[in-house]
Amino acid sequence: MVLALAAQKGWSVYQLDIKSVFLHGESKEDVYVEQPLGYIRKGKEERVYKLKKTLYGLKQAPRAWYNKIKAYFVKEGSVGYDYKHTLFVKIEEGEGIYLSQKKYACELLEKFGLQNANSVKNPIVPGFKLSKEREDVGELLAYTNSDYAGDTDDRKSTSGYVFLLSGGPVSWASKKQPVVTLSTTEAEFVAATFCACQCIWMRRMLEKIGHSQSKCTTIMCDNSSTIKLSKNPIMHGRSKHIDVRFHFLRNLTKKKVVKLVHCGTNDPDKTTEA
């Protein structure tokens, strides 16, 4: 997702690799290990070593390194977020260069005899209407789909989704559903809810890095009944048994966080086909 924004906005992208990264973490707990082969002290074989640094294989190692790198980023002015603990953002304002060609422009007007012509604020046809932003540029777009009772053992369906940003996929998943559904509509409804949950997290992340979504996110779905079910709060005989947690999608639709839009069958099928 961040790389997609970098490509869209022309940001510079750098990467690095830290060798033996877990060995740089500071151990804040008393951890003892047996003397390794080659370092056993004669006459003191029963003694153990106390670690000052973390080692690979210790459950404390990942967190020790995270605390160390987090302290560095915070010191440098970066801000971390609860939605993604490994993401730190620092907004820098470059000095930049200001260029002006006012003198040259005036010389051109004088050269062609236009120095006394009426000026306009914008070089466009009067009455031409401008929108605030280009349609769909930088907006999240999702496709969701589900098979029906695809698992021959427990008859559970498989949910799938893919999110597009700046013209490319940035998040995708294919996962077996936790419940056995009784219809294709119910299976698609569960899949759409699964997709909407991921959508909330992605919208929050984009907001934190300065790319807020101004509109509700469109989720493309190939099942018309599922789309109607997401908008209609009335319980029908064939849908009243659906677990209340999956009606979370209705709440998001009502709040205009997401909206389900019908699409062709072939577009979202890739998320559930092997």
Residue ranges per domain, the chain?
Answer: 19-89, 141-271
- What Cα–Cα distance (Å) separates residue 244 from each residue in 104, 182, 230, 256? 68, 15, 12, 19
The string of pLDDT tens digits covering residues 254-271 is 999 999 999 887 766 666
Summary mean pLDDT of the chain: 85
The string of pLDDT tens digits covering residues 69-96 is 999 999 988 888 777 888 888 877 666 6
- What Cα–Cα distance (Å) separates residue 181 from each residue in 10, 194, 228, 235? 45, 14, 18, 16
In this structure, is the dihedral angle defined by the CA atoms of residues 126, 131, 133 and 134, taken in order, positive or negative? negative
- Give the pairing type, strands 84-89 and 158-165: unpaired
- pLDDT confidence bin for 197, thresholds 50/70/90: very high
pLDDT surpassing 80 at residue 203: yes
Q: Rounded distance, CA 191 to CA 177, Å?
A: 8
- DSSP states of 41-89 as a string? PTT-TT-EEEPSB--TT-TTHHHHHHHHHHHHHHHTT-EEETTEEEEEE
Between residues 237 and 67, which one has the greater pLDDT? 67
Q: 96: which residues sit within 8 A by CB, 6+ positions away? A: none
Phi/psi at 35 (5° precision): -65, 125
**For residue 238, what pLDDT is reported?**
64
The string of pLDDT tens digits covering residues 93-148 is 666 677 778 888 888 888 888 888 877 776 777 777 766 555 566 789 999 999 99
For the chain, percent of residues with pLDDT exceeding 70: 88
CATH (residue range 141-271): 3.30.420.10
Q: Rounded distance, CA 271 to CA 274, Å?
A: 8
Task: Give the tokens for residue 178.
Answer: 């936790």
